[in-house]
Amino acid sequence: MPDIHVKAVPVNGLFQFVTGELAPEQLRSVLEKLGSDARWFTGHLLAHEVVPLPVVNRFTEFSAEAKKEPVKSFAKRAGRFGAELGLKSVYKFILAVLSVESVLKKAPFIWTRVYDGGALNVDAAENRARIHLTNFQSSIAGCGRISGWFEVVGEHAGAKNLKVFHTTCAADGGNECCWDFSWQ
């Protein structure tokens, strides 16, 4: 499978999150571990730039390690932060008028604006949904960020008592990644 890339905006958001979480010496250590790939983590990438997903995942993993936090929970918090940051724009108003089901059905379109690979499919019905992600380089770090992002988007779309479970993970040996959603 060829490398998948992530657009600059979420990478800049991840860098902003990590900068707020780590002490300057911890961040320096993370960037040193990345070697030449550290060039992607300045917070100043241009919107058209793309970063290899494995590099973004390593940055997340090294940052969690520096914070002494499990990768899964650190990545989920990073995803939530990135979604909150991204939703401060016009998307905030769009989410306010669409139902949760409508927002989730738009997820495949949004996916292609962030990643240049992987196939996202949504099965949505009243008060529940399942998202399938295939042909994607899954990792604990990447799936954690995606899970956090899904939670925030659902919350901003007006879901009451939203629950998001990453029920199947390709990084743990599954055939695909699946997220199950339920809400009132």
- Alpha carbons within 13 angstroms on the beta-carbon side of residue 6 total 24
Instruction: Report if residue 129 sits inside a domain.
Output: yes
**Lookup result for tokens 């992002």:** 149
Any domain includes 56 = yes
**CATH number for 127:** 3.90.1520.10
Among 136-145, 150-159, 172-181, name the one with the lowest average pLDDT.
150-159
Q: What's the rounded Cα separation, in Å, for the pair 100 and 94? A: 11
Q: In the prediction, which pLDDT does 91 show? A: 62
Q: State the pLDDT at residue 154.
A: 82
Per residue in 47-69, pLDDT tens? 999 999 999 999 999 999 999 99
Q: How confident is the model at residue 86 (pLDDT cuts 50, 70, 90)?
A: confident
- Give CA–CA dist 107/119, Å, rounded: 11
Give the SS3 label for residue 12. Answer: helix
What pLDDT does residue 90 have?
Answer: 53
Residue numbers of the domain that contains 78: 5-85
Q: Are residues 104 and 176 in the same domain?
A: yes
Domain end residue (candidates: 53, 85, 117):
85
Structural domain count of the chain = 2
Do 105 and 175 lie in a common domain? Answer: yes
Write down the mean pLDDT value for the chain: 92
The answer to the question of residue 122 being in a domain is yes
Q: What is the pLDDT of residue 184?
A: 85
Does residue 156 have a pLDDT over 80?
A: no
112, 61: one domain:
no
Q: Measured between alpha carbons, how far is 49 from 44 in angstroms, rounded to an integer?
A: 10
Give the mean model confidence (pLDDT) for residues 24-41: 98
Same domain, 10 and 70: yes
Indicate whether 94 belongs to any domain: no
Evaluate whether 17 touches 89 at the Cβ level (below 8 Å).
no
Q: Which of the listed residues 34, 51, 85 is the one where a domain comes to its end?
A: 85
pLDDT for residue 4: 96
pLDDT at 39: 98
Widest CA span of the chain, in angstroms? 48
Where among 85, 111, 131 does a domain terminate? 85
